Amino acid sequence: MNNESKQEAQYVMKAKKIYTMDEESPSADWVLVEGKRIKAVGNGEAPTGYLVREFEDAVVFPGLIDTHVHAGTTAVMLSGVNLIEVTCVQEALDLIEERCRTTEDDIVFAAFYIEPQINEGRFPTKKELDRISNGKKVMVTSITLHSSSVNTETFQALGFSEDLPGLGKDENGEFNGLLGIDEVQLKALNILMGLISEERYLQYIEDFGKMAVENGLTTVHCLEGQFVKEDKDLDIWMEKIDSGDLPFHCVLYPQLWDYERAKKYNLPRHGGCLTLDGADMDFTMALDEPYTCKPEVRGDLINKDSDVYQLVKRAHMDEKQCAFHAMGERAIDQVLDAYRRVIAEQGDKKLRHRIEHFTLPRLSHIELAAKLGCVVCQQPEYSYLFDTPGGPVEQWFGVERASTRFEHYKMVKDSGVVVAGGSDAPVNSLNPLTGIHGLVNARYDIRRMSVTEALETYTRCGAYAAFEEEERGQISEGYYADFTVLAEDPYEIPEKINEIEIVATISEGREVYRKQK
């Protein structure tokens, strides 16, 4: 090994402040890195004779962890037309028309459509999209990805019958372009994503890796499969992981209802965001009581109780951790009942079965989740953005449900359930600091955490959610050398955490991102 390689393999890192998230020694003056691991952590005089990486004006934390990301879909959607700030249908159509006119891609995804902020309160229709699509296939997706509208070219490519349940109809009873329920929307997304070539999908994975480290992430729980036909994305992700050239640590969750099909990946986990119900914005959450603004609607369960139970039964038998998307009370009922029953039958194997979102749980759900040792993976940026006075969350659920039961992170944590932070990208941004900010500055006490608690949610708790708490999530001897370097200290400006810039990201000892001056 030459001298340069030795220097790269061993170095001392110093900073204005180093927060270890280790309860026994919460801060340090220096960290000695050897290869991928931390060799020593200490205060006072640093070891000599090593290359020194100095971050004089910055603060260092353990590498931040995102426990809920649709990584491939995030890259695909972010490469499309961004409708996040659109407030009327014509504005959306203008942006989509410009892309259709200039792109060489055959499929145009127009993402992040927020129906509640659209003046007309609706999606663009099939006829409107046909007028501006320039022969391209167009899909306009809700920010939640649980509903969309499509043009004629897309509908023909999907091969759906106009009699298929869940299709929107106009006043004449004809299909108007809206794919309004999860079964139809997820199938459509699966088919369209499946048309992307393997070469192009590999580029999307590389694009995602760049975005992840730019946002300070060193570990990402990637929930893949389900959204791409024949789940070919899972094979591509496995190849990338095996090659070792990802700039972050990938914890892959295979989102497959076909358990046997997932066995070939030989992973210690199964599921991810396997959807048991829909989403709040799309009025498809499986609620106890109807939506406040739509008293005729309370959503639907997508799968039978028996199907969920059988899947959990087989995974638990093979000692695999499970993870399911459950937002409304009836969906949370379904997944918790499956976990409870299987644990009663087979014994508690301490598998830390997960519930993704856990949006509107009852108190009994929280108590049962704690008893069963479940991990809850939630996305605090979402409630911070959408639960404002008179805003969408209050419109959907009313003030009482919004203030006492909607994503009450602090209460769930204090009840003994491990709460791990995530983004649900592309639904929310990949920046974990916006989630941490959302926890610290949450609207209600039942959501609001201290700065330390919020940081733990994206470090130690994130590692715990994947059984990695003995090697990631804190800065300690023997742990992986994962660090997120911030321009400012969250403890000093708790009201502006979302404005803090990422200075550098170090993954397993390698500097994979450095902000350009």
CATH, domain range 71-194: 3.10.310.70
pLDDT of residue 230: 79
217, 65 Cβ separation under 8 angstroms = yes
Mean pLDDT to the nearest integer, 249-260: 96
| pLDDT tens-digit readout, 165-202 | 889 999 999 999 999 888 899 899 989 988 988 999 99
- SS3 (DSSP) at 67: strand
To the nearest 5 percent, what fractions of the chain are helix, strand and coil? 35, 25, 40
Output DSSP code: residue 428: S
The single residue listed with the structure tokens 């300690």 is 476
pLDDT at 3 over 70: no
Pick among 3.60.15.10, 2.30.40.10, 3.10.20.600, 1.10.940.10: CATH of 1-62+474-517: 2.30.40.10
| pLDDT tens-digit readout, 125-172 | 999 999 999 999 999 999 999 999 999 999 999 999 988 988 999 999
% of residues, the chain, pLDDT over 70: 98
| pLDDT tens-digit readout, 335-344 | 999 999 999 9
| pLDDT tens-digit readout, 459-513 | 999 999 999 999 999 999 999 999 999 999 999 999 999 999 999 999 999 999 9
- SS3 (DSSP) at 142: strand
**Cα(60)–Cα(18) distance, integer angstroms:** 5
**Cα(258)–Cα(3) distance, integer angstroms:** 51
Tell me the domain boundaries of the chain: 1-62+474-517, 71-194, 268-472
Token pair for residue 117? 């902020």
pLDDT of residue 186: 87
pLDDT of residue 232: 86
Band of residue 226 on the pLDDT scale cut at 50, 70, 90: confident
pLDDT of residue 7: 41
229, 236 Cβ separation under 8 angstroms = no
Strand 148-150 to strand 167-169: parallel, antiparallel, or no bridges (unpaired)? Answer: unpaired
pLDDT at 205 over 70: yes
- b (16+ CB within 10 A) / e for 108-123: bbbbbbbbeebeeeeb
| pLDDT tens-digit readout, 18-38 | 999 999 999 999 999 999 999
What is the per-residue DSSP string for 267-323? -SEEEEEEESS--TTTT-S--SS--SS-TT-----SS-HHHHHHHHHHHHHTT-EEE
313: left (phi over 0), alpha (psi -120 to 50) or beta: alpha
Q: How many CA atoms lie within 13 A of 360 on its CB side?
A: 26
pTM: 0.93
pLDDT of residue 229: 80
pLDDT of residue 181: 87
pLDDT at 438 over 90: yes
How large is the angle between the packed helices 198-214 and 232-243, nearest 10 degrees? 60
pLDDT of residue 183: 87
How is domain 268-472 classified at the architecture level of CATH? Alpha-Beta Barrel (3.20)
**Cα(136)–Cα(141) distance, integer angstroms:** 16
pLDDT of residue 452: 98
Q: Tell me the pLDDT of the chain averaged across its residues.
A: 95
pLDDT at 2 over 50: no
Look at 7-11, 278-282, 400-404, 446-450 and tell me which has the smallest mean pLDDT.
7-11
HEC per residue, 159-221: CCCCCCCCEEECCCCCEEEEECCHHHHHHHHHHHHHCCCHHHHHHHHHHHHHHHHHCCEEEEE
Cβ neighbourhood burial of 332 (10 Å; 0-12, 13-18, 19+): buried
